[in-house]
Structure 1
Amino acid sequence: MHIRSALEPMLATIVDRLPAAATGGRAGLRYEPKWDGFRCIARVDEGGKVELNSRRLRSMNQPFPDIARAVADAIPPSTVLDGELVCWVDGRLDFGTLQLRNSAGRRAGQVAQEFPCHYIVFDVLEREGTDLRDRKLAERRVELEDLFATHVPKGSPLTLGMHTADRALAEQWFDQLSQVGVEGLVVKQGGEKYRSGQRGWHKVKAYATTEAIIGGVTGTPDRPAELILGRYVTDGTDELRVVARTVPLSDHHAAEIAKVITPTDDHPWPELLEAFWMGGKGPTEYHRVEPTVVAEIRIDPAIQAGRWRHGSRLIRLRPDVDPDQVPRDLDLES
């Protein structure tokens, strides 16, 4: 039986912690990194034609012609893969560059050369005409590894996704890969079938704790609603740049911050800020404050356009840390 049309990918539900290693039906768990990219199903039909489809079944052939060519060159007909499109910039995953690729339009070929992407493949749903979706994940993984070993050349933008049944190794990935923008782990059952459009996997987000400088607030200085946070950069300008925005502050934190911030017009940032966070619809009004107060925050390591793209959470103020002691750029440690 062939898979003859686009299909919805299997999905994951967010959980707070790694599931127990072996409780009830969870024996044989498998762990994979949660890549910060675009989900992509790649299908090669009987004639060798390639179709890349997003999670919402939109064609991605035009914005990612290099990936479509790589799939056509390496993957046999009547094969369907599941994976993630990602962009690496300076050794980190960069979602903003991926979005740039996705919106390039007629310049897609040129932009593809400037910002090459990779397709990290973590599942095979059909192999050379054999539908594998009813097979166990562990069996599909063997098929996927053999497919890469026999067909995908070195240097290809197609990459075999990391995968392990070793919980200790998975915990090591969880602790270390956030440094390069990996969002956490996806946890799957080794004996599970592939169920299109259903949530059968779990994902655990990796968060990091770091410091940033309060450069502005939304709301009012007397009752800040959110913090606009900055970091100094190491590109030679020593400029203070916006790197994050917090989620709404509690009344307790708002009162604490109102006591220590000082509004000012003598500031390196403009009066209005561009909408750089997810869901922003236009320039944002805010109040600039003297960049002298340091906050400790919890962040999701995913970045976009040189900023942490998800809302951060204030942990506490750090009066014991001077602004020049805060890590630079998007480094998590000094």
Structure 2
Amino acid sequence: MLSTTVESPDLPSGWAAEPKWDGYRAQLARYRGEQVLLRSRQGTDMTSAFPEVRAAAVEQLPEDTGLDGELVVWEAGRLAFERLQQRLVRRGAGAAARAAAEQPVHFVAFDLVRVRGKDLTSWPYARRRAALENLFADSGLTAPFTLCPSTTDPSTVREWLTWTTVGVEDILLKRLDEPYRAGARTWRKYKPRVTEDAIVGAVTGPVTAPRTLLVGRYDRQGRFHFIGRTTTLSRATGAALAPLLTSASPEHPWQGRQFSAGWGSREMLAVHLVRPELVVEVAVDVARDAAGRWRHAVRLHRARPDMPSETVALFDD
């Protein structure tokens, strides 16, 4: 099942909420004996990349049982999405085993679609959730299995919104009476966003008509760090920003640096460096990579030509 973004985390009557973790959506099935399949939402077989999940499924899950959930990696007090990506590129059984020891994953289960040969997809969410909780209790599921929290209490949802620094990416809202319908976009998703200030260091497209902005912040040592890129600007917005931008001199701190087109992409962007002077306010979500950069594209909120770049928060803060 899939979700539609909403603007409010308010929990309607007849709905439950779950935290959405910064990880990979995954479906896990154990068949007879030691047959296990772990696959992505797109259907990619990920079983060999996560041998610790396969081994735990054989040891702990009843035969003919299927779970829906999220793969996550916990590191240094928060979820580390980039470590999860690194797990997928390790090739061969030996490399996967070493990665499992170095960067173990958890499977956060939020739905039970089949148990001991019984298809539960026609059951309403509330009944499936009770069955999932019973499975954890009766089978004594332990790490790497984790039960995703679920609540019908609005105050608990508000508390979850304070967990963003550790990797709670969204809040998912699910109808208590809804069956499991694969591919249906009937869940609701609220994405917490805040606005922060950053400094424009480069643009895609010409400086006279920028298409996106590459933004950064200085650290305490005076080094200018890239921290994110905006979504595509409208023509009107680009035209309004152009007079505020000045092409950079050869001494620009990003001179010679390359920037990828997207997270995990090998395609390099064609960028034009500008003097790192213009401050912009951008709307960001909670996802960060290990280097502290915003992992998703940010949205331009407004330019702040009245604000000196020296007043922007430091990269280390």
TM-score by structure 1 length? Answer: 0.84
Q: Give the match for residue 156 of structure 2.
A: 169
Instruction: Give me the whole-angstrom Cα distance separating, in 2, the residues matched to 1:198 and 1:39.
Output: 15
Looking at structure 2, the residues matched to 193 and 218 of structure 1 have their Cα atoms a distance apart, in angstroms, of: 45
Residue 13 of structure 1 aligns with which residue? Answer: 4
1:189 to 175, 178, 186: 175
2:138 and 2:65 map into 1 onto residues whose CA distance is: 14
Give 1:124 shift: 1.1
CA distance in 2, matches of 1:126, 1:192: 16
Q: Which residue of 1 aligns with 2:243?
A: 259
The 8 Å contact of residues 48 and 76 in structure 1, kept in 2 or not, is answered as no
Task: Please name the residue that 2:189 is paired with.
Answer: 203
Query: How big is each residue's C-alpha offset from its partner over 1:33-82, in whole Å with a ceiling of 9 and x where there is no partner?
Result: 12222211111113243221221222211111122222222222222111
Separation (CA, whole Å) in 2 of partners of 1:238 and 1:162:
43
Alignment of 1:249-328 (within 5 A): 249-264=233-248, 265-275=250-260, 277-278=262-263, 280=265, 282-304=267-289, 306=291, 307-319=293-305, 321-328=307-314
Q: CA deviation at 1:304?
A: 4.3
**Contact kept in structure 1, 2:4 and 2:186, CA below 8 Å:** yes
CA distance in structure 2 between the aligned counterparts of 1:280 and 1:76, rounded to whole angstroms? 39
Residue 85 of structure 1 and its aligned partner are, at CA, apart by 0.7
User: C-alpha distance in 2, partners of 1:113/1:38?
Assistant: 19
Whether the 8 Å contact between 1:80 and 1:125 is mirrored in structure 2 is yes
What is the distance in 2 between the residues matched to 1:269 and 1:183? 30
> Structure 1 pair 238/115, CA: closer, same or farther in 2 (3 Å)?
farther
Q: Secondary structure at the match of 2:211?
A: strand
Contact kept, 8 Å, 2:33 with 2:58, in 1: the verdict is: no
> In 2, distance between residues paired with 1:195 and 1:203?
17
Q: Tell me the TM-score normalized by structure 2.
A: 0.88
Task: Please point out which of 210, 217, 222 is paired with 1:231.
Answer: 217
1:144 maps to what in 2?
A: 132
Distance 1:37 1:114 in 2: 17
Residue in structure 1 matched with residue 147 of structure 2 by the alignment: 160
Report how far residue 196 of structure 1 moved.
2.2
**Aligned mates of 2:35, 2:264 — CA distance in 1:** 36
Whether 2:18 is the aligned partner of 1:32: answer yes
Contact 1:30 1:187 in 2 (8 A): yes
Residue 216 and residue 152 in structure 1: after superposition, are their counterparts in 2 closer, same or farther (change >3 A)? farther
The yes-or-no answer on 1:83 pairing with 2:83 is no
User: Match of 2:168, SS?
Assistant: coil
Distance apart, 1:281 and its partner CA: 5.0
SS, match of residue 73 in structure 1:
helix
| Partner SS state of residue 224, structure 1 | coil
CA distance in 1, matches of 2:259, 2:176: 45
Structure 1 stretch 244-253 or stretch 29-38: which is displaced more? 244-253
Q: Deviations over 1:2-54 (max 9, x none)?
A: xxxxxxxx2223333347614xxxxx201111222221111111324322122
Select the residue among 232, 242, 246 that pairs with 2:230: 246
Count of aligned residue pairs for this structure pair? 313
Counterpart contact for 1:48–1:78, Cα < 8 Å: no
Task: Say which is worse superposed, 260-269 or 276-285, in terms of deviation.
Answer: 276-285
1:53–1:251 distance in 2 versus 1, CA, 3 Å: closer
Cα pair 1:85 1:118 within 8 Å, conserved: yes
Q: Which is worse superposed, 128-137 or 290-299? A: 128-137
Could you tell me which runs of 5 or more consecutive residues in structure 2 were left unpaired when the two chains were aligned.
none
Aligned to 2:101, which of 103, 113, 123? 113
Mapped partners of 1:285, 1:305: distance in 2: 25
Which residue, 111, 117, 127 being the options, matches 1:129?
A: 117
Is the contact made by 1:136 and 1:193 (CA closer than 8 Å) also made in structure 2? yes
1:124–1:140 Cα contact (<8 Å) kept: yes
1:99 deviation in Å?
1.4
Report sequence identity in percent: 37
Q: Which moved more, 1:304-313 or 1:39-48?
A: 304-313
In structure 2, distance between residues paired with 1:102 and 1:71: 19
